[in-house]
Amino acid sequence: MTRITSHPFAFSRVLCVLCVSALMGCVEGPVYEGQFAYDDGWSIGKVTEVGTARGGFGRTSKDCRLSAIAQGKGNRAFAHVAYQRGKHYRSIIATVPEGLRVAPGEEVYVNFQDCDAEVAPRHAVRTH
């Protein structure tokens, strides 16, 4: 019977790779202003247009107007927001909260995963 001997550091290397892999799984995305978690779908975006539910917005990756109209929010303002998610640039038409005024060029938080989430004003100054 032959015995296969392994390299003396093979177990250590495998253990190191497993530990690093486990730690990488624990890395989370940022939480903006302590409440808008990237992992929950929130991103920083820039308002490109503001209009109504019947407004003629440009092309978009996601349009939340139908959902808002179904919930009785059709009279609200809507914002077309451009944002970056990883390496991809996208846009969304999202509901603006009652009483909030947004203008083209303003940075806001937007949640691309949840059409019920309205845009949120950005208070912190971008540092990068």
- Which tens digits make up the pLDDT trace of 87-104? 999 999 999 999 999 999
Side-chain half-sphere exposure of 119, counting CA atoms within 13 A: 34
Query: Once rounded to an integer, what is the mean pLDDT over residues 64-81?
Result: 95
- The secondary structure of 60-91, three-state, reads CCEECHHHHHHCCCCCCCEEEEEEEECCEEEE
The full set of domain ranges for the chain reads 31-121
- E strand spans, 1-128: 31-32, 36-37, 42-51, 62-63, 78-85, 88-95, 107-111, 120-121
pLDDT at res. 56: 85
As a whole number of angstroms, the distance between CA 31 and CA 46 comes to 18
User: How confident is the model at residue 58, as a pLDDT?
Assistant: 86
- Residue 27 in this model has a pLDDT that exceeds 80: no
Q: Average pLDDT, stretch 23-30?
A: 64
Which residues partner with 84 through β-bridges? Answer: 89
Higher pLDDT, 52 or 15: 52
**pLDDT confidence of 123, banded at 50, 70, 90?**
confident
Confidence class for position 28, pLDDT limits 50, 70, 90? confident
Share of the chain above pLDDT 70, in %: 75
Q: What is the pTM of this model?
A: 0.74
pLDDT of residue 116: 95
